[in-house]
């Protein structure tokens, strides 16, 4: 039985997190204050104003940073497994509040209810991963060239980690960073997207309760609200050694330059222009499922959304017909109704970009196989609902080279062997996610080889979206090169130190240098 949320359900959800119509938007743990201007959160589901928050002023920000600095002094001294225990408790709180938080994610951002629940599950999963990691922050022991000496490497907390997250995954990306940063001994300051401040407020209240219960400092988890101007507080702040930023390539380049100018470190997760290669040996049913979900899931607003489908000419018509048939079955509407497949875009500005992209691909010579358009009438009052579209085109079209954050799939063909398809796939500035559909072992291995996909993620017989917590997430080229989540991504949140211990009564110098002064 599907679940359809009503206005009363949303009111109850806000009440659970003690979110009223007006909220203070700046926080360090359980200490709430703010003095900036008011911004409102509008739901793309029904166009209603959910609530408003006060943004962070420069004076507010100074209080936050100083509180975080003091908290770091205590937090870093707690043994890593003890820090892991705090993260474990946070995971338990998330399990308890999974449904209401998932509902709030869905309503504020516009993704389907199941995706909202799934996003909170990602938070739980990364917390579980981080708990295990808290007992595995290992270094490396090396042999010294000097007798009676021992060398090793170890990792120490960096300090304050700044996090700038995007609207499309309003809570999961924050947790990918914070869960790891916390077990590493860092404290965090989070600036969520100004389009989704309420989900951030809910998360902050949940972790604040955990910190208060354990009599830990407020500044371990801090929240600031506002637009790019508030983000600039962190990009230019020497007190923040690492800034993790998720968003557009344009934004990432600005962040990278400003952080680099003060010799800080940045972790960038930027745009994707992801492709699936479909070879003659592909399973067509699997291909259609992977391509459709990748293209229309979250209304095409994932950084890993499938933007391009590169199909061999021998099976092109078969794949094209199957896709067109599948798109006819898509149900577009309120994402809080689990019967629907596709919800709204985040706002009307995104709708304008979607419409402009469709006009552009036609003007460049493309053909619309599945017509797009903005939906109107009952159920679509927010003006943010659009039809997923499929356009035939070429990879060298200007619009195909860009990342349009909308459900537009560009269909193109290739001839020859798989190397031709790989060349097309790689011929974009982004390098996040990629996939190949084939039952041919040689094609699969070539796709994964050094001469294959140039993306940070390369999949075989699954789509471009749906990364697992256990693997490092991120991409190459103008995607930014950052890595979050699993594997050894934890190392970016720590400073590396090489240690040499002399346990003799002599002081031999490296490389056999003689330096006699006594």
Residue 190, domain member (yes or no) = yes
Instruction: Tell how many helices (H) and how many strands (E) occur in the chain.
Output: 15, 24
pLDDT of 225 > 60? The answer is: yes
Residue 510, domain member (yes or no) = no
Q: Can you tell me whether residue 386 is helix, strand or coil?
A: strand
Question: Would the CA dihedral through 191, 469, 5, 328 be positive or negative?
Answer: positive
The whole-angstrom separation of Cα 432 and Cα 453 is: 10
Name which of 258, 274, 242 is nearest 400 in CA terms. Answer: 274
Residue 481: CB atoms within 10 Å: 18
Say if residue 237 is in the same domain as residue 207. yes
What's the CATH code of the domain at 340? 3.40.309.10
* Phi, psi angles (nearest 5°) of residue 157: -60, 150
The mean per-residue pLDDT over the stretch 56-83 comes to: 97
The mean per-residue pLDDT over the stretch 238-263 comes to: 98
Say if residue 108 is in the same domain as residue 165. yes
User: What's the pLDDT score for residue 3?
Assistant: 53
Confidence band, pLDDT 50/70/90 cuts, at residue 23:
confident
Q: Which residue has the tokens 């497994």?
A: 81
Is residue 78 classed exposed, middle or buried when 0-12, 13-18 and 19+ CB atoms within 10 A define those classes?
Answer: middle
pLDDT of 30 > 70? The answer is: no
Say if residue 343 is in the same domain as residue 437. yes
Confidence band, pLDDT 50/70/90 cuts, at residue 24:
confident
User: What's the pLDDT score for residue 368?
Assistant: 98
Q: What amino acid positions are annotated as catalytic residues?
A: 269, 303
Tokens encoding 341: 């497949």
CA dihedral 434, 439, 442, 447 (to 10 degrees): 0
The whole-angstrom separation of Cα 68 and Cα 223 is: 11
Count CA within 13 A, CB hemisphere, residue 417: 8
Over the stretch 475-499, which tens digit does the pLDDT of each residue have?
999 999 999 999 999 999 999 999 9
Domain count, the chain: 2
Residue 174: CB atoms within 10 Å: 26
Angle at which helices 228-235 and 249-261 cross, to 10°: 30
Residue 106, domain member (yes or no) = yes
Say if residue 325 is in the same domain as residue 456. yes
- Are 403 and 448 in contact by the 8 Å Cβ rule? The answer is no
User: What's the pLDDT score for residue 209?
Assistant: 96
Is residue 152 classed exposed, middle or buried when 0-12, 13-18 and 19+ CB atoms within 10 A define those classes?
Answer: middle
Say if residue 460 is in the same domain as residue 492. no
Say if residue 330 is in the same domain as residue 441. yes
Residue 508, domain member (yes or no) = no
Say if residue 264 is in the same domain as residue 141. yes
pLDDT of 7 > 60? The answer is: no
Residue 244: CB atoms within 10 Å: 27
Residue 402, domain member (yes or no) = yes
Tokens encoding 12: 């109850």
- Structural domain boundaries enclosing 140: 7-270+480-496
Over the stretch 365-394, which tens digit does the pLDDT of each residue have?
999 999 999 999 999 999 999 999 999 999
Name which of 452, 455, 462, 457 is nearest 418 in CA terms. Answer: 452
The mean per-residue pLDDT over the stretch 314-325 comes to: 98
- Are 384 and 44 in contact by the 8 Å Cβ rule? The answer is yes
Count CA within 13 A, CB hemisphere, residue 307: 27
The whole-angstrom separation of Cα 398 and Cα 379 is: 34
User: What's the pLDDT score for residue 2?
Assistant: 45
The whole-angstrom separation of Cα 85 and Cα 346 is: 36
Over the stretch 415-425, which tens digit does the pLDDT of each residue have?
999 999 999 99
Percentage of the chain modeled with pLDDT above 70:
97
* Helix or strand run (H / E) with residue 301: none
Say if residue 160 is in the same domain as residue 279. no
Residue 257: CB atoms within 10 Å: 11
* Phi, psi angles (nearest 5°) of residue 162: -90, 140
- Are 436 and 457 in contact by the 8 Å Cβ rule? The answer is no
Over the stretch 430-470, which tens digit does the pLDDT of each residue have?
999 999 999 999 999 999 999 999 999 999 999 999 889 99
Q: Among the listed ranges 33-47, 85-99, 106-120, which one has the minimum average pLDDT value?
A: 33-47
- pTM of the full structure: 0.95
Residue 497: CB atoms within 10 Å: 11
The whole-angstrom separation of Cα 137 and Cα 157 is: 11
Over the stretch 174-190, which tens digit does the pLDDT of each residue have?
999 999 999 999 999 99
Residue 502, domain member (yes or no) = no
For the chain, report the end-to-end CA distance as a whole number of angstroms.
87
Q: Which residues of 27-53 are buried (b: 16+ CB within 10 A; e: fewer)?
A: bbbeebebebeebebbbbbbeeebbbb
What's the CATH code of the domain at 265? 3.40.605.10
Tokens encoding 246: 């998720």
User: What's the pLDDT score for residue 28?
Assistant: 73
User: What's the pLDDT score for residue 35?
Assistant: 77
Residue 306, domain member (yes or no) = yes
Provide the phi-psi class of 226: left if phi over 0, else alpha when psi is between -120 and 50, else beta: left
Tokens encoding 42: 């509008």
The whole-angstrom separation of Cα 372 and Cα 355 is: 8
User: What's the pLDDT score for residue 31?
Assistant: 66
Task: Return mean pLDDT, the chain.
Answer: 95
User: What's the pLDDT score for residue 311?
Assistant: 98
**E-assigned strand segments in 216-336:** 221-223, 242-246, 265-269, 274-278, 306-312
Say if residue 222 is in the same domain as residue 280. no
Say if residue 218 is in the same domain as residue 340. no
pLDDT of 32 > 70? The answer is: no
Confidence band, pLDDT 50/70/90 cuts, at residue 1:
very low
Residue 503, domain member (yes or no) = no
Say if residue 249 is in the same domain as residue 298. no
Say if residue 282 is in the same domain as residue 265. no
């Amino acid at each position: 039985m599907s679940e359809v949320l009503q206005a009363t359900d949303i009111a109850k959800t806000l009440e659970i997190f003690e979110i009223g119509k007006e909220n203070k938007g700046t926080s360090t743990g359980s200490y709430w204050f703010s003095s900036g201007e008011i911004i409102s959160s509008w739901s793309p589901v029904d166009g209603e104003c959910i609530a408003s928050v006060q943004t962070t002023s420069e004076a507010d920000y100074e209080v936050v940073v100083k509180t975080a600095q003091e908290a770091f002094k205590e937090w870093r001294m707690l043994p890593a497994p003890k820090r892991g225990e705090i993260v474990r408790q946070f995971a338990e709180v998330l399990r308890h509040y999974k449904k209401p938080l998932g509902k709030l994610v869905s309503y504020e951002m516009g993704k389907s209810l199941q995706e909202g629940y799934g996003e909170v599950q990602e938070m739980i999963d990364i917390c579980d991963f981080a708990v295990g990691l808290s007992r595995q922050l290992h270094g490396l022991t090396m042999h010294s060239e000097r007798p009676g000496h021992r060398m090793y490497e170890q990792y120490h907390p960096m300090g304050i980690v700044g996090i700038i997250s995007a609207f499309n995954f309003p809570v999961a990306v924050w947790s990918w960073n914070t869960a790891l940063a916390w077990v590493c001994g860092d404290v965090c300051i989070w600036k969520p997207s100004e389009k989704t401040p309420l989900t951030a407020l809910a998360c902050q209240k949940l972790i604040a309760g955990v910190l208060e219960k354990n009599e830990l400092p407020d500044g371990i988890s801090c929240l600031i609200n506002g637009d790019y101007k508030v983000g600039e507080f962190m990009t230019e702040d020497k007190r923040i050694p690492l800034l993790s930023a998720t968003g557009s390539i344009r934004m990432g380049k600005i962040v990278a330059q400003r952080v680099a100018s003060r010799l800080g470190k940045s972790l960038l997760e930027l745009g994707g222009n992801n492709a699936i290669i479909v070879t003659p040996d592909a399973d067509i049913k699997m291909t259609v499922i992977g391509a459709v979900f990748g293209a229309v899931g979250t209304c095409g607003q994932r950084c890993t959304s499938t933007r391009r489908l590169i199909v061999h000419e021998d099976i092109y018509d078969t794949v094209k017909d199957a896709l067109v048939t599948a798109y006819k079955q898509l149900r577009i509407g309120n994402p809080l109704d689990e019967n629907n497949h596709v919800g709204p875009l985040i706002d009307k500005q995104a709708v304008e970009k979607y419409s402009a992209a469709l006009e552009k691909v036609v003007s460049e010579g493309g053909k619309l196989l599945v017509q797009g358009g903005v939906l109107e009438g009952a159920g679509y009052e927010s003006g943010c609902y659009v039809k997923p579209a499929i356009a035939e085109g070429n990879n060298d079209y200007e619009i195909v080279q860009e990342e349009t954050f909308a459900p537009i799939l560009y269909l193109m063909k290739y001839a020859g062997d798989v190397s031709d398809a790989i060349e097309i796939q790689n011929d974009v500035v982004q390098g996040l996610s990629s996939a190949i559909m084939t039952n041919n072992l040689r094609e699969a291995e070539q796709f994964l080889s050094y001469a294959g996909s140039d993306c940070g993620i390369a999949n075989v017989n699954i789509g471009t979206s749906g990364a697992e917590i256990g693997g490092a997430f991120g991409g190459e080229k103008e995607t930014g090169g950052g890595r979050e989540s699993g594997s050894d991504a934890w190392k970016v949140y720590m400073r590396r130190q090489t240690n040499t211990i002399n346990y003799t009564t002599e002081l031999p110098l490296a490389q056999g240098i003689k330096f006699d002064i006594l």
